[in-house]
Amino acid sequence: MGGSSTSPCDLDREFAPQIAQLLATPPLQSGQEYYDGLIQSKKHDGIRVNFSSKHGKGVCANKYFAEGDLILKDQILVGAQHSLNKIDCAVCSYCFRFIGSIEFQIGRRLYWQSIGSSSDRTNRRHCHESDVGSSASSSGATKENSNTLSEEVLVSLITGDMSLPFTDHFGLPQVVACRGCEEERYCSQSCADSDWETYHSLLCTGSKSEPSWRSALQKFVEHANGSNDIFLVAAKAITFTLLRYKKLKTHPEFQKNTDQSNFCLLMEAWKPLSMGFKKRWWDSVALPEDVDSCDEDSFRQQIRDLAFTSLQLLKHVIFDSECAPLFSLEVYGHIIGMFELNNLGLVVASPVEDYFIHIDDLPDDEKEEAEKVTGPFLDALGEDYAVPCEGTAFFPLQSCMNHSCCPNAKAYKRDEDIDGHAVIIALKPIRKDDEITISYIDEDVPYEERQAQLADYGFIWVGAVMEVLVCWIVALGVYGSTALG
């Protein structure tokens, strides 16, 4: 759709030339410089990013990799844990490591589950963690057996008054709270500081005391949690750019060079993101099966209007007139599309899984003894005891890797990879100068099905798309009569 109906956003018209510049493909030289700099600063000597006018971006080996070698650990540029997953896993808001203790993880999850099963979703909205989401479809939230453990026991696990056997083998970093709010938690002060500088200082409920600002932020977050939490990641992308802009502006280089316009600075601040996007969200999404093709235009318009509602709410929170083009629907749509089209899902395995495997592997007598204590907790957690941390993220280098049905590398987390980085491992020997390719889809799916998936999604990361489809179904149900009407 896109072009076939007028944008509801005034900024799209007012700043059309600036928006076109923000969304133009970066010149090859500027792009090459960006990636060379990024690779150098992260010390990823083994790879390089190549541009070609024919094939776009690609990643090549700068040296030989044997099968199983680590090629790259790619740090997230912008990412977030899914709202509903926050019930299951307490992780650092910056690096996505699990935090606290095994007891804290188990106690907290069972506590939220018991609230979820004993009350309706309205009550869950009132609970202290404002970001737990509004749908009752969390993996374990409706487990009936979660009430067999008393609230007192669960609280003493959370507070550390009760400990489980052998958890000292599974030490997790202590929880460091955000300096402003209680909602964001970190594995270390350095993660807290980095998050503050990079994204969070503009979205922290503790940073400003005005009730109207807080309520605006709450409205934006609630809308995202009730429709599609990709909007929360998009908001982080915008705060990332705004904070970079502010930092550049106070840089002595800029203060000297007064010829440089604010817009030039915005272009510079936006550069890391400008490398990632491809298409507007509402233009690039596949039509869900239950939507008739003759309703496609109205479906795409509904998706666009949903994004516009979210953007309007976000503008009440962080609008900055110096960076106005950044708040256009056109740019917002591309940012959201970027997360849908490029990302490798954020996944971090749960140490709770390792813990219960460890208990299971103990010698019989020790195991029997330990299970007297741990058994009821495992039963209460149920089959989903090992739910990993899951979210959406944009990985600047991984996203440059091209797809192959016969890839020579894959995204794979080893035991030691306990944070949100994307980890790329060689699947076979890779010679210097070979292109490094990964598969975007599940290798185990039969060939015809894989072809069909690729045809449907135009080489999109299918998992992420399926997830969004589910979100839309919720969104269309919840907002069908208001935002979309």
Residues that bind Zn ion (CB under 5 A): 92, 94-95, 178, 180-181, 184, 187, 191, 204
Quote the least distance from Cβ 199 to Zn ion, whole Å: 10
Dist CA 291 CA 35 (whole Å) = 40
Nearer CB in complex with Zn ion: 188/260: 188
Nearer CB in complex with Zn ion: 186/282: 186
Element (DSSP H or E) covering residue 133: none
Nearer CB in complex with Zn ion: 181/347: 181
Quote the least distance from Cβ 93 to Zn ion, whole Å: 8
Residue 357: CB atoms within 10 A of its CB come to 10
Question: What is the longest distance spanned by two Cα atoms in the chain?
Answer: 77
Dist CA 220 CA 236 (whole Å) = 12
CB-based burial label for 140 (10 Å; 0-12, 13-18, 19+): buried
Quote the least distance from Cβ 179 to Zn ion, whole Å: 7
Quote the least distance from Cβ 425 to Zn ion, whole Å: 23
Quote the least distance from Cβ 181 to Zn ion, whole Å: 3
Quote the least distance from Cβ 95 to Zn ion, whole Å: 3
CB-based burial label for 262 (10 Å; 0-12, 13-18, 19+): middle
Nearer CB in complex with Zn ion: 95/387: 95
308 within 8 A of 329, measured Cβ to Cβ: yes
Q: Give every strand in the sheet of 346-348, ordered side by side.
A: 78-81, 389-394, 346-348
Partners of 389 in the β-ladder = 348
Nearer CB in complex with Zn ion: 47/203: 203
- Of the candidates 385, 373, 354, 369, which has an alpha carbon nearest to the alpha carbon of residue 146? 385
CB-based burial label for 302 (10 Å; 0-12, 13-18, 19+): buried
397 three-class SS: coil
Nearer CB in complex with Zn ion: 196/270: 196
Dist CA 475 CA 225 (whole Å) = 10
User: Residue 412 is which amino acid?
Assistant: Y
Q: Which two tokens stand for residue 417?
A: 């990879």
Quote the least distance from Cβ 110 to Zn ion, whole Å: 24
Nearer CB in complex with Zn ion: 184/229: 184
Quote the least distance from Cβ 174 to Zn ion, whole Å: 11
Nearer CB in complex with Zn ion: 181/286: 181
Nearer CB in complex with Zn ion: 186/472: 186
Compute the Cα dihedral for 256, 257, 262, 267 and give only its sign: negative
Nearer CB in complex with Zn ion: 123/190: 190
Q: Which residues of 57-68 are buried (b: 16+ CB within 10 A; e: fewer)?
A: bbbebeeebeee
Nearer CB in complex with Zn ion: 118/190: 190
330 within 8 A of 142, measured Cβ to Cβ: no
Dist CA 79 CA 236 (whole Å) = 8
Q: Which two tokens stand for residue 281?
A: 């969200």
76 within 8 A of 276, measured Cβ to Cβ: no
Quote the least distance from Cβ 191 to Zn ion, whole Å: 3
28 within 8 A of 276, measured Cβ to Cβ: no
Quote the least distance from Cβ 140 to Zn ion, whole Å: 25
125 within 8 A of 223, measured Cβ to Cβ: no
Element (DSSP H or E) covering residue 59: strand 56-61
Nearer CB in complex with Zn ion: 178/389: 178
Quote the least distance from Cβ 104 to Zn ion, whole Å: 15
Quote the least distance from Cβ 190 to Zn ion, whole Å: 8
